[in-house]
Amino acid sequence: MRSQKGGSTEFMADHMLKRACEWMRFLGYTVYYPECHYDNDILKTCMKNDLVLLTRDIELYRRYPLSIYINSVDIDNQISQIMEMFPPDPKKFMTKCPDCGSDLYSINSDEINVPDGIKKRFHVVKYCNKCKKAFWPGTQYNKIMEKINRLLK
Ligand SMILES: [Zn+2]
């Protein structure tokens, strides 16, 4: 495997790792999810952009030198394996949209369509401009942070 560029490493997750891909985005990694199902296209995109390929497919793994074979089907183990190899930056937690990977930005909750209760509690929320989705420190957010902290130990 070639040497990594430190914090700027970018990833591609294969189709068997959709949940891991979402979790990696919560953790602040830049990770792409394939739009097509053809192995050759996935590999082409990885090569062109120097992406580290995370895969559960041993054939794909063998075909690309910058790939990492994810051993487990268990989501906690998958995240742990990735975090061990590429320690995440806590400053980047919850900065990316789990659905599309775009950077979230802070927006006044009055400006977007969120429930009134949320507007009252949070003046500012995180927002994905692409998915038109808002994120705030609610139950889901806390559960995510709990899991991240548990796995980091
Ligand atoms: Zn999004």
Strand partners, 54: 13, 68
CA of 75 to the centre of ligand 1 (A): 21
Segments making up each domain of the chain, as ranges: 8-92, 105-152
CA of 103 to the centre of ligand 1 (A): 8
pLDDT at position 5 is 46
The C-alpha atoms of residue 68 and residue 57 are separated, in whole angstroms, by 10
Global pTM exceeds 0.75: yes
pLDDT in tens, the chain (153 residues): 444 445 579 999 999 999 999 999 999 999 999 988 799 999 999 999 999 999 999 999 999 999 999 999 999 999 999 999 999 999 998 899 999 999 999 999 999 988 999 899 999 999 999 999 998 877 777 888 888 889 887
CA of 104 to the centre of ligand 1 (A): 8
CA of 59 to the centre of ligand 1 (A): 31
Ion ligand 1 residues within 5 Å by Cβ? 97, 99-100, 102, 128, 130-131
